[in-house]
Structure 1
Amino acid sequence: MTHTSLPAAFVRGGTSKGVIVRREDLPADPARRDALLLALMGSPDPYGKQMDGLGGASSSTSKVALVSASSRDDCDVDYLVAQVDVERPIVDYSANCGNLSSAIGPYALRAGLVAPREGITEVRIWQENTARRIIA
Protein backbone atom coordinates (compact mmCIF):
# COMPACT_ATOMS: atom_id res chain seq x y z
CA MET A 1 0.00 0.00 0.00
CA THR A 2 1.21 3.50 -0.77
CA HIS A 3 1.98 5.56 2.32
CA THR A 4 -0.42 8.38 2.85
CA SER A 5 -1.34 10.77 5.61
CA LEU A 6 -4.61 10.37 7.44
CA PRO A 7 -5.95 12.78 10.06
CA ALA A 8 -6.78 10.69 13.11
CA ALA A 9 -7.14 10.75 16.88
CA PHE A 10 -5.74 8.00 19.10
CA VAL A 11 -8.14 7.71 22.04
CA ARG A 12 -8.96 5.70 25.10
CA GLY A 13 -12.59 4.98 25.82
CA GLY A 14 -13.18 3.00 28.99
CA THR A 15 -10.93 -0.06 28.84
CA SER A 16 -10.51 0.13 25.06
CA LYS A 17 -8.11 2.12 22.93
CA GLY A 18 -8.61 2.94 19.31
CA VAL A 19 -8.23 5.32 16.45
CA ILE A 20 -10.96 7.70 15.36
CA VAL A 21 -11.01 8.84 11.74
CA ARG A 22 -13.43 10.92 9.75
CA ARG A 23 -15.27 8.78 7.23
CA GLU A 24 -14.80 11.34 4.47
CA ASP A 25 -11.01 10.96 4.82
CA LEU A 26 -11.22 7.25 3.92
CA PRO A 27 -11.58 5.65 0.49
CA ALA A 28 -15.22 5.13 -0.53
CA ASP A 29 -14.43 1.67 -1.90
CA PRO A 30 -14.85 -0.83 0.98
CA ALA A 31 -11.88 -2.99 -0.07
CA ARG A 32 -9.54 0.01 -0.24
CA ARG A 33 -10.93 1.37 3.04
CA ASP A 34 -10.37 -1.93 4.83
CA ALA A 35 -6.84 -2.25 3.41
CA LEU A 36 -6.07 1.21 4.80
CA LEU A 37 -7.53 0.34 8.22
CA LEU A 38 -5.49 -2.88 8.34
CA ALA A 39 -2.30 -0.95 7.49
CA LEU A 40 -3.16 1.75 10.04
CA MET A 41 -3.39 -0.81 12.83
CA GLY A 42 -0.44 -2.96 11.66
CA SER A 43 -2.48 -5.99 10.67
CA PRO A 44 -2.20 -8.73 9.81
CA ASP A 45 0.77 -9.50 12.05
CA PRO A 46 1.62 -13.21 12.30
CA TYR A 47 3.54 -12.45 15.51
CA GLY A 48 0.47 -10.80 17.09
CA LYS A 49 2.24 -7.55 18.01
CA GLN A 50 1.00 -4.97 15.43
CA MET A 51 4.48 -3.38 15.61
CA ASP A 52 4.00 -1.59 12.28
CA GLY A 53 0.79 0.16 13.26
CA LEU A 54 -1.26 1.79 15.98
CA GLY A 55 -2.92 -1.42 17.14
CA GLY A 56 -2.20 -2.65 20.64
CA ALA A 57 -2.06 -6.40 19.87
CA SER A 58 -5.42 -7.28 21.46
CA SER A 59 -9.05 -7.06 20.44
CA SER A 60 -9.66 -4.24 22.95
CA THR A 61 -6.86 -2.13 21.45
CA SER A 62 -7.32 -2.80 17.73
CA LYS A 63 -10.42 -0.79 16.87
CA VAL A 64 -11.12 2.08 14.52
CA ALA A 65 -14.13 4.36 14.85
CA LEU A 66 -15.37 5.90 11.61
CA VAL A 67 -17.17 9.15 12.42
CA SER A 68 -19.06 11.60 10.23
CA ALA A 69 -21.68 14.29 10.50
CA SER A 70 -25.00 12.49 10.72
CA SER A 71 -27.33 12.13 7.79
CA ARG A 72 -30.18 11.70 10.31
CA ASP A 73 -32.28 14.56 11.67
CA ASP A 74 -32.29 13.09 15.18
CA CYS A 75 -28.50 12.68 15.52
CA ASP A 76 -25.40 14.86 15.33
CA VAL A 77 -22.85 12.24 14.31
CA ASP A 78 -22.78 8.76 12.81
CA TYR A 79 -20.34 6.25 14.30
CA LEU A 80 -19.24 2.89 12.91
CA VAL A 81 -16.86 0.54 14.74
CA ALA A 82 -14.30 -1.42 12.75
CA GLN A 83 -12.75 -4.28 14.76
CA VAL A 84 -9.39 -4.96 13.12
CA ASP A 85 -8.13 -8.51 13.57
CA VAL A 86 -4.56 -8.64 14.88
CA GLU A 87 -3.31 -11.73 13.01
CA ARG A 88 -5.64 -12.04 10.00
CA PRO A 89 -6.59 -9.54 7.27
CA ILE A 90 -10.13 -9.12 8.60
CA VAL A 91 -12.07 -5.96 9.46
CA ASP A 92 -15.31 -6.78 11.27
CA TYR A 93 -18.23 -4.33 11.40
CA SER A 94 -20.71 -6.60 13.18
CA ALA A 95 -20.61 -5.16 16.72
CA ASN A 96 -20.35 -1.94 18.68
CA CYS A 97 -17.70 -1.19 21.29
CA GLY A 98 -19.42 0.37 24.29
CA ASN A 99 -16.13 1.56 25.77
CA LEU A 100 -15.02 3.31 22.59
CA SER A 101 -18.51 4.84 22.32
CA SER A 102 -17.65 6.96 25.36
CA ALA A 103 -14.94 8.75 23.33
CA ILE A 104 -17.20 9.73 20.42
CA GLY A 105 -18.97 12.65 22.14
CA PRO A 106 -15.73 14.40 23.22
CA TYR A 107 -14.22 13.70 19.80
CA ALA A 108 -17.26 15.23 18.04
CA LEU A 109 -16.82 18.40 20.12
CA ARG A 110 -13.06 18.67 19.52
CA ALA A 111 -13.43 17.92 15.81
CA GLY A 112 -16.05 20.65 15.38
CA LEU A 113 -18.85 18.24 14.45
CA VAL A 114 -20.90 19.53 17.38
CA ALA A 115 -20.78 23.07 18.76
CA PRO A 116 -20.34 23.28 22.52
CA ARG A 117 -23.21 24.88 24.40
CA GLU A 118 -23.29 26.66 27.74
CA GLY A 119 -23.55 24.13 30.57
CA ILE A 120 -23.95 20.57 29.35
CA THR A 121 -23.60 19.77 25.67
CA GLU A 122 -25.60 16.77 24.50
CA VAL A 123 -24.17 14.81 21.57
CA ARG A 124 -26.63 12.57 19.75
CA ILE A 125 -24.75 9.64 18.19
CA TRP A 126 -26.12 7.17 15.66
CA GLN A 127 -24.35 3.85 16.31
CA GLU A 128 -24.42 2.23 12.88
CA ASN A 129 -23.29 -1.28 13.87
CA THR A 130 -26.32 -1.77 16.11
CA ALA A 131 -28.72 0.79 14.60
CA ARG A 132 -29.16 2.51 17.97
CA ARG A 133 -29.03 6.09 19.16
CA ILE A 134 -26.64 7.02 21.96
CA ILE A 135 -26.93 10.24 23.93
CA ALA A 136 -23.58 11.44 25.30
Structure 2
Amino acid sequence: MKTVKSLFLLACILSCTTLFLGSCSDKDHSTPNGSSTVTYKLIGSSDVNITTIVYYDGSSSPVSKTGDFGSTWTSEEITADNARVIISANGTGTSDASTLKAQIIKNGQVIKENNVSTGKTLQTTLSLN
Protein backbone atom coordinates (compact mmCIF):
# COMPACT_ATOMS: atom_id res chain seq x y z
CA MET A 1 0.00 0.00 0.00
CA LYS A 2 2.86 2.33 0.83
CA THR A 3 4.42 1.68 -2.60
CA VAL A 4 1.16 2.54 -4.39
CA LYS A 5 0.87 5.80 -2.45
CA SER A 6 4.47 6.69 -3.25
CA LEU A 7 3.99 5.94 -6.96
CA PHE A 8 0.76 7.95 -7.03
CA LEU A 9 2.46 10.91 -5.33
CA LEU A 10 5.41 10.71 -7.73
CA ALA A 11 3.05 10.60 -10.73
CA CYS A 12 1.17 13.66 -9.44
CA ILE A 13 4.38 15.61 -8.92
CA LEU A 14 5.67 14.72 -12.40
CA SER A 15 2.34 15.65 -13.99
CA CYS A 16 2.19 19.01 -12.22
CA THR A 17 5.82 19.76 -13.10
CA THR A 18 5.20 18.91 -16.77
CA LEU A 19 2.10 21.10 -16.91
CA PHE A 20 3.88 23.97 -15.17
CA LEU A 21 6.95 23.88 -17.42
CA GLY A 22 4.85 23.43 -20.56
CA SER A 23 2.72 26.45 -19.76
CA CYS A 24 5.77 28.69 -19.45
CA SER A 25 6.42 28.67 -23.20
CA ASP A 26 5.92 32.02 -24.91
CA LYS A 27 5.76 30.62 -28.46
CA ASP A 28 1.96 30.63 -28.53
CA HIS A 29 1.59 34.24 -27.42
CA SER A 30 1.86 37.23 -29.72
CA THR A 31 3.79 40.11 -28.29
CA PRO A 32 1.72 43.21 -27.61
CA ASN A 33 4.65 45.38 -28.69
CA GLY A 34 5.83 45.59 -32.26
CA SER A 35 3.86 46.24 -35.40
CA SER A 36 1.75 44.36 -37.91
CA THR A 37 0.88 44.89 -41.55
CA VAL A 38 -2.83 44.25 -41.84
CA THR A 39 -5.95 44.92 -43.86
CA TYR A 40 -9.29 45.81 -42.29
CA LYS A 41 -12.49 44.38 -43.76
CA LEU A 42 -16.13 45.13 -42.96
CA ILE A 43 -18.77 42.67 -44.11
CA GLY A 44 -22.47 43.39 -43.98
CA SER A 45 -25.45 41.46 -45.26
CA SER A 46 -26.70 42.54 -48.70
CA ASP A 47 -29.21 45.02 -47.23
CA VAL A 48 -26.61 46.92 -45.15
CA ASN A 49 -25.14 50.34 -45.88
CA ILE A 50 -21.93 51.07 -43.97
CA THR A 51 -21.97 54.80 -43.17
CA THR A 52 -19.11 55.54 -40.74
CA ILE A 53 -15.65 53.95 -40.50
CA VAL A 54 -12.91 54.87 -38.01
CA TYR A 55 -9.55 53.06 -37.96
CA TYR A 56 -5.85 53.57 -37.31
CA ASP A 57 -3.61 53.54 -40.38
CA GLY A 58 -0.26 53.70 -38.61
CA SER A 59 -0.23 57.46 -38.07
CA SER A 60 -0.79 59.10 -34.70
CA SER A 61 -4.42 59.99 -35.45
CA PRO A 62 -7.36 57.80 -36.40
CA VAL A 63 -8.77 57.94 -39.93
CA SER A 64 -12.48 58.76 -40.02
CA LYS A 65 -14.61 58.21 -43.13
CA THR A 66 -18.28 58.94 -43.61
CA GLY A 67 -20.45 58.22 -46.62
CA ASP A 68 -22.32 55.41 -48.30
CA PHE A 69 -19.88 52.50 -48.52
CA GLY A 70 -22.35 49.74 -49.37
CA SER A 71 -22.37 46.37 -47.65
CA THR A 72 -18.62 45.62 -47.75
CA TRP A 73 -15.49 47.71 -47.35
CA THR A 74 -11.79 46.82 -47.38
CA SER A 75 -8.92 49.10 -46.38
CA GLU A 76 -5.60 49.41 -48.08
CA GLU A 77 -2.80 47.42 -46.42
CA ILE A 78 -1.50 49.36 -43.41
CA THR A 79 1.35 48.94 -40.93
CA ALA A 80 0.57 49.98 -37.37
CA ASP A 81 1.67 49.31 -33.80
CA ASN A 82 -0.13 46.22 -32.50
CA ALA A 83 -1.71 48.35 -29.78
CA ARG A 84 -3.26 50.57 -32.48
CA VAL A 85 -4.68 47.94 -34.84
CA ILE A 86 -8.34 48.81 -34.35
CA ILE A 87 -11.41 49.50 -36.47
CA SER A 88 -14.91 50.66 -35.66
CA ALA A 89 -17.87 51.09 -38.01
CA ASN A 90 -21.54 51.97 -38.05
CA GLY A 91 -24.16 51.09 -40.59
CA THR A 92 -27.86 50.70 -41.18
CA GLY A 93 -29.85 47.68 -42.27
CA THR A 94 -33.36 47.33 -43.59
CA SER A 95 -34.46 44.60 -41.17
CA ASP A 96 -33.81 43.15 -37.73
CA ALA A 97 -31.92 40.33 -39.50
CA SER A 98 -29.32 42.70 -41.02
CA THR A 99 -25.72 41.91 -39.99
CA LEU A 100 -22.32 43.61 -39.82
CA LYS A 101 -18.95 42.27 -38.70
CA ALA A 102 -15.29 43.32 -38.87
CA GLN A 103 -12.16 41.34 -39.70
CA ILE A 104 -8.43 41.94 -39.35
CA ILE A 105 -6.51 40.20 -42.13
CA LYS A 106 -2.76 39.48 -42.20
CA ASN A 107 -1.04 37.72 -45.12
CA GLY A 108 -4.42 36.88 -46.63
CA GLN A 109 -5.60 35.09 -43.47
CA VAL A 110 -8.27 36.34 -41.09
CA ILE A 111 -6.44 36.64 -37.77
CA LYS A 112 -9.29 38.18 -35.81
CA GLU A 113 -13.03 38.51 -36.34
CA ASN A 114 -15.69 39.82 -34.02
CA ASN A 115 -19.21 38.69 -33.28
CA VAL A 116 -21.85 39.75 -35.76
CA SER A 117 -23.90 42.86 -34.96
CA THR A 118 -27.56 42.43 -35.89
CA GLY A 119 -30.50 44.78 -36.35
CA LYS A 120 -31.42 47.94 -38.21
CA THR A 121 -28.79 50.05 -36.44
CA LEU A 122 -25.42 48.30 -36.61
CA GLN A 123 -22.15 48.96 -34.79
CA THR A 124 -18.96 46.91 -34.73
CA THR A 125 -15.53 47.40 -33.14
CA LEU A 126 -12.50 45.12 -33.38
CA SER A 127 -8.91 45.41 -32.16
CA LEU A 128 -5.90 43.14 -32.44
CA ASN A 129 -5.31 43.08 -28.67
Which TM-score applies when normalising by structure 1?
0.27
Which TM-score applies when normalising by structure 2?
0.28
- Ranked by relative contact order (alpha carbons within 8 Å, sequence separation 6 or more), the top structure is 2
| Greater share of residues in helix | 1
| Greater share of residues in strand | 2
In terms of Rg, which structure is larger? 2
